[in-house]
Structure 1
Amino acid sequence: MSKIISIVEVVAYKHAWKEEYRQIKEHLLAHVGDLVLACEHVGSTSVEGLAAKPIIDLDLVMESYDQLPEIILRLQQIGYVHEGTLGIEGREAFRRETAGAFMNHHLYVCPKDGKGYLEHIAFRDYLRANREACRQYGELKQRLAEQYRTDRTAYGEAKTAFINSILNMDDLS
């Protein structure tokens, strides 16, 4: 059996990503809005001017894990499969069973005080406020996408030191 090769593609920022996020958010909130506190656009597509893989990252924020069983049930009804934490504390990952009408996206459900959610927001907000860090991260991502063109895992791991350098800053706010 041959392995399907997934290409790492990093492209220039596209303003259309804001609208794509808005459409996905509206769809999700129509089904789980009464169970969550917010829907946040996170990841590189949420930072204006930042090169990114053309995949929208969204965090649905819940008060606590008490809401998770009902959220899982409702998301299943609209084509999402719960994948667990995928090794990241404080977030639950979901994938679409079918491509659907929306742009490729990663969906996470996170408690409001969960590490995964808090780190997504802190990193996003830092890059939005610090253009030089945003430029450096974009250049790093483009270099790594060329270097690890057919290895998404290595690409992701190679970004970790930069991400952690931002998240571990004492004055991050």
Structure 2
Amino acid sequence: MKTRHTAAARDLTASGQRDAPVEIVDYDPTWPDRFADEHARLQALLPDAEVHHIGSTAVRGLAAKPVIDVMALVEDLDPPIPALVEQGGYAYPAAYNMTLDRRRWLCRPSAEHRTHHLHLILDRPLLDRHLRFRDRLRADQGLRDRYAALKLDLAARHPTDREAYTAAKSAFVEQNSC
């Protein structure tokens, strides 16, 4: 039986809904296959992009929100968006994306029910930081356990504020992505 840790959290969605639960579940061994399927779909839509599985679902044994995080290094941010929306089934929350610099964020199938997050980026160093952190978590059981405990603690301490939850994790991520 899966352990679920749920806390309400602030979340910007395309529909303008603010409160959505943050659900942290035990590792699901189907996550790598779900990424592989998504990678194949994205290669057809972003043939020149470098596509990677990032985030906690990319780390065997790590509890995570059950959403596959994908990062794609692209040459230009905006031209692929229509194809990702029309052919790829992604939602593009335009208001949220107006706040982002040098990256775009999409989700599938909708902002209200997300199974995948797609981060389009222009910045190789940003991709490298995400990959270093992922790879360190994969290689170090102690680090992985500390990160899982931190996420559960922060979800409990910030049950209605996703921004605070994410900000509180960011120091750990930055410290361990060097």
TM range (shorter): 0.7 to 0.9
Does residue 105 of structure 1 match 2:116?
Answer: yes
Specify the alignment match of 2:70 in structure 1: 58
| Matched letter for residue 73 of structure 1 | P
- SS of 1:48's equivalent in the other structure is coil
Q: 1:3 to 1:43 in 2, by over 3 A?
A: closer
* TM-score normalised according to structure 2 size: 0.76
Task: Indicate the RMSD between aligned Cα atoms, in angstroms.
Answer: 2.6
Q: 1:46 to 1:165 in 2, by over 3 A?
A: same
In 1, the alpha carbon distance for the partners of 2:164 and 2:173 equals 15
The correspondence for 1:45, drawn from 54, 57, 64, is 57
How many aligned positions are there? 158
Deviation at 1:3, TM superposition (A): 5.8
Specify the alignment match of 2:130 in structure 1: 120
Specify the alignment match of 2:104 in structure 1: 92
Contact 1:55–1:104 (CA<8 Å) still a contact in 2?
Answer: yes
Contact 2:73–2:124 (CA<8 Å) still a contact in 1?
Answer: no
Q: When you count helix as a share of all residues, which structure comes out higher?
A: 1
The correspondence for 2:31, drawn from 3, 17, 27, is 17
Gaps of 5+ in 1: none
**Structure 1 residues 52-87: Cα deviation after superposition (integer angstroms, max 9, x where no partner):** 11111001222x33xx34322321322332654754
Q: 1:85 to 1:160 in 2, by over 3 A?
A: farther
- SS of 2:107's equivalent in the other structure is strand
Q: 1:4 to 1:69 in 2, by over 3 A?
A: closer
Specify the alignment match of 2:8 in structure 1: none
Deviation at 1:19, TM superposition (A): 1.4
Q: 1:44 to 1:116 in 2, by over 3 A?
A: same
Deviation at 1:12, TM superposition (A): 1.0
**Structure 1 residues 72-129: Cα deviation after superposition (integer angstroms, max 9, x where no partner):** 2321322332654754x55322234637xx9611101223x53331221111111111
Specify the alignment match of 1:71 in structure 2: 80
- SS of 1:107's equivalent in the other structure is strand
Contact 1:13–1:51 (CA<8 Å) still a contact in 2?
Answer: yes
Alignment of 1:24-39 (within 5 A): 24-33=38-47, 35-36=48-49, 38-39=50-51
Q: 1:76 to 1:3 in 2, by over 3 A?
A: closer
Q: When you count strand as a share of all residues, which structure comes out higher?
A: 2
Gaps of 5+ in 2: 1-15
- SS of 2:63's equivalent in the other structure is coil
Contact 1:6–1:152 (CA<8 Å) still a contact in 2?
Answer: no
Contact 1:56–1:104 (CA<8 Å) still a contact in 2?
Answer: yes
In 2, the alpha carbon distance for the partners of 1:114 and 1:90 equals 11
| Matched letter for residue 32 of structure 1 | L
Task: Report sequence identity in percent.
Answer: 34
